[in-house]
Amino acid sequence: MPIPKPEVVVREELDPRELHTLAGHSEWVDLVAFTPDSGTLATMCSRDQTIRLWSVETGEELHVLTGHSEFIWNISISPHGRYLASGSKDDTARIWDMASGEQLHELKAHGDNVRWVDFSPDGSLLATASADSDIRLWEVTSGRCRQTLSGNQYGVTFVDFSSDGKLLLSGGLDKIGRVWNVGDGSLLQQLDAHKDQVYTGMFTPDGKHAVTAGDDKRGYLWDPMTGEKLKTYGGATDVIFGMAISPDSQWAVLVSKERSINMWPISKGQSEPHKLEHRNVVGSACFTPDGNYLATGSMDHTVRIWSVPDLVEKHSLDSCKDIITSVAISPDGRFLAAGCADHTARIWQLAD
């Protein structure tokens, strides 16, 4: 069974104030991620090949996770917060114990870069996506490979579990999205509409839809059970490399290499997106757990917070004096973190 998520507190107003600057990495901080209890922040630096764990309340560095010998592509934290997984250019994925910082398993079956890692909602499985064209499902406690999902023609760029853990969405260089049955590893649907690499994708939290996007500057909304294409999301002028979907499954935000991001209503037949503007390329976006706000991070050195659904800019956080690489909001909605090209991460408190 999926592990229950923390209770969502609805916050009508936010009052951001900076708490900590986290210094320790020797290169850009590429990704930031909170644990489910909102007590620990993980920061990933691809180039110094380390992951660091920090106390959110005090800013203290708790552990440095070392072991990868090449560029780290991605990290994921398990739903119960016990484990962190990482995927690397060294062709391995690794599972780490969050409490001790110790490596538990080195997963070595792939024959090329491990580009993406994702835990199942019950925390029992880890999915890994590789440039070797395979997806593997691993038992988290034993480190045993339970299933190999083959059939992709080229490298796989992402995987995403559905909220009930029964389905897995993937996409890659062969221009096709795929929906897999996690139980037996069978291919359920091929999502065939993209004209170029499918770089990113997610299930909606309610499990009713999937969204894929990529190098063809298009996003698509799908029925994952039938494979029917329901909607096309245009409006981007460059590669779409990231996305965020609102907790109520009503909004899809597509992040591309341009100064604005496109925000689309999932259920309505709107023909043009809402555009949220920065002064330089936007690199990341995430919603607050109550869905009332959206945070965006940009190469213009700011994190901006927008109200939803009226999309009014409420706050601009500019204490980081370099490119913002990633943003994350804690599951309890109290904290916002950003990774920065100045080798630091920042934590703001949004609410008491």
Per-residue pLDDT band at 151 (split at 50, 70, 90): confident
Return the amino acid letter for 27: E
Contact 171, 199 (CB under 8 A): yes
**Could you tell me if residue 288 is inside a domain?**
yes
The reported pLDDT for the residue numbered 161 is: 98
With H, G, I as helix, E, B as strand and everything else as coil, classify residue 271.
Answer: coil
Q: How far apart are the first and last CA of the chain?
A: 32
pTM (2 d.p.): 0.95
The reported pLDDT for the residue numbered 13 is: 86
**Could you tell me if residue 96 is inside a domain?**
yes
Rounded Cα distance between 280 and 250, Å, is: 27
**What is the domain count for the chain?**
1
The reported pLDDT for the residue numbered 159 is: 98
The 3-state secondary structure of 162-227, one letter per residue: CCCCCEEEEEECCCCEEEEECCCCCEEEEECCCCCCEEEEEECCCCCCEEEEECCCCEEEECCCCC
Average pLDDT of the chain is 94
Per-residue pLDDT band at 2 (split at 50, 70, 90): confident
Torsion of CA 57, 242, 135, 99, to 10 degrees: 0
The reported pLDDT for the residue numbered 11 is: 78
With H, G, I as helix, E, B as strand and everything else as coil, classify residue 268.
Answer: coil
pLDDT in tens, 249-280: 999 999 998 988 889 999 767 677 888 989 89
**Could you tell me if residue 172 is inside a domain?**
yes
**Could you tell me if residue 256 is inside a domain?**
yes
**Could you tell me if residue 4 is inside a domain?**
no
The reported pLDDT for the residue numbered 85 is: 98
**Could you tell me if residue 1 is inside a domain?**
no
Residue with tokens 């916050």: 11
**Could you tell me if residue 309 is inside a domain?**
yes
CATH number at residue 156: 2.130.10.10
Per-residue pLDDT band at 21 (split at 50, 70, 90): very high
Rounded Cα distance between 203 and 187, Å, is: 16
Examine the pLDDT at 162 and tell me if it is beyond 80: yes
pLDDT in tens, 75-95: 999 999 999 999 999 999 999
pLDDT in tens, 171-190: 999 999 999 999 999 999 99
Q: What is the CA radius of gyration of the chain?
A: 19
Q: The domain containing residue 72 runs over which residues?
A: 17-349
**Could you tell me if residue 11 is inside a domain?**
no
Q: Give 113's DSSP letter.
A: -
The reported pLDDT for the residue numbered 7 is: 73
Cα three-residue angle 345-328-352, rounded to 5 degrees: 90
Structure-model confidence comparison of residues 352 and 40, the more confident one: 40
Rounded Cα distance between 262 and 233, Å, is: 9
